[in-house]
Amino acid sequence: MTINNLEQFCQQFKALLDQKPEWPELLVNGRAMLSELVSNHDWFKDTLSRLVLDQVFLQNQWQSIDPNDIQLYFSPDKAFSVRAFIWEPGVCYPIHDHGAWGIVGAHINQVRERKFARVDDGLDVNHAEVKQIADATLSPGETTFVLPLHDGIHQMQALNNQVAVSIHVYGTPIRKGFIHYYDPHFNTAIRVYPPAINKKMLAIKTLGSISEDWAKKVLLTALNSAEPNYVLNECKYSLDKMGDK
C-alpha cells in the first residue's frame, strides 16, 4: 500500500515492528516507508496550519529537550514515536546523541547531516572527544539513521538559507531523561534535560559547586529519595565534584 499520510505510515510501521525484525531489516524497510511519507508534502500542511492557528494543539505539544521538536505521533505501546524537526537557517544546533535508534527523512528543503564518533575512553562523564566521520546533504525524500548513545552522534543543519523540516521516527529509548551536547573545541559532554526537569538539574549542578555542609546534605537527601536514575546520577556527579575540592 502506498503511504500518503501519517496515519498510513504509523499503521504500516507498527505492523513492521510487530514482526520483530532484526535491525538490518527494520532499517531497510523503515527507511523505505519513511521515504514514501516525506516525499509527499500534502499531509504535513495540517500540522503547520494547526501550529499557527490552533492554540490548544500548540499548548498540548510536550516540552521536549529540543525547542524545534514537533510531536506528531506516539504509539500507545510506546514502541515508537514520530516527530517533525524544524531547522532554521543560520542557527547552529549542537552536536548531540540519542537515547534510541532513529530513522530520519528530509521533508521540506535540504538538510545537512554530519555524523561524529567518540574517540575518547568515555570514563569522564563531562569529557568527550569526537571526530567527524561523515557529511551528507539530504534532499526531500532521502533518509538517514542514528543509533543509540555513542553510535548516534550527529548534527543537523538547514541549507541554502531556507527553513527545512525533517521527519524523525524514534524507537523505545534505552536511556531516558537526557541527551548529550558535544563541543569538539573544548572536548566536553554536557547532559541536557527537558524543560520540566531542567531547573532541578541546574540546582543540583550548582550544589556540587558549593563546598558547604548544607549543600552536601541537600544532595544526600535527594540521593536517598525515589527519583529517576538520571536525577540520582546527577546527584552522584555533584557529590563527586564536591569531594574533588
In this predicted structure, what is the pLDDT of residue 245? 55
18 φ, ψ to 5°?
-65, -25
pLDDT digits (tens, 9 = 90+) for 141-189: 999 999 999 999 999 999 999 999 999 999 999 998 999 999 999 999 9
Give dist(CA 151, CA 155) in Å, integer: 13
| Weakly modelled stretches of the chain, pLDDT under 50 | none
Tell me, what's the pLDDT at 241? 83
Rounded CA-CA distance 224/228 in Å is: 11
Which residues of 11-163 form beta strands (DSSP E)? 69-74, 80-87, 95-98, 102-108, 111-118, 130-138, 143-146, 149-158
pLDDT in tens, 165-175: 999 999 999 99
**The Cα angle at residue 192 between residues 187 and 197, in degrees rounded to 5:** 155
What pLDDT shows up at residue 122? Answer: 87
Q: Please tell me the predicted confidence (pLDDT) of residue 98.
A: 97
The helix/strand/coil state of 186 is coil
Q: Which domains does the chain have, with CATH numbers?
A: 6-192 (2.60.120.10), 195-243 (no CATH)
5-42 burial, b for 16+ CB within 10 Å, e for fewer?
ebebbbebbeebbeeeeeeeebbebbbebbbbbbebee
Indicate the residue type of 191. Answer: R
- The distance between the two most distant Cα atoms of the chain, rounded to a whole number of Å, is 65
Q: Which three cell numbers stand for residue 244?
A: 574533588
Alpha carbons 103 and 140: distance in angstroms, whole number: 14
pLDDT of residue 244: 64
